[in-house]
Amino acid sequence: MRRTGGRGHRLTRSWQRPPPSGRNQPMSNKTKVRRLAPGPDRDKVAAELKKKYDSGTSIRALAEETGRSYGGVHRLLADAGVTFRSRGGDRRSAES
Tens place of pLDDT for every residue, the chain, 96 residues? Answer: 555 555 555 565 666 666 666 566 665 565 565 667 778 889 999 999 999 999 999 999 999 999 999 999 999 999 999 999 988 766 666 555
Phi-psi region of 43 (alpha: psi -120 to 50; beta: other; left: phi over 0): alpha
State how far the Cα of 84 lies from the Cα of 78, in Å rounded to an integer.
8
Q: What is the model's pLDDT at position 23?
A: 61
**Which H/E stretch holds residue 12?**
strand 11-12
Q: Where are the domains of the chain?
A: 38-84
- Residue 46 is predicted with a pLDDT of 94
pLDDT at 71: 94
Q: What is the pLDDT of residue 33?
A: 57
The secondary structure of residue 3, as a DSSP letter, is E
pLDDT at 90: 60
pTM: 0.56
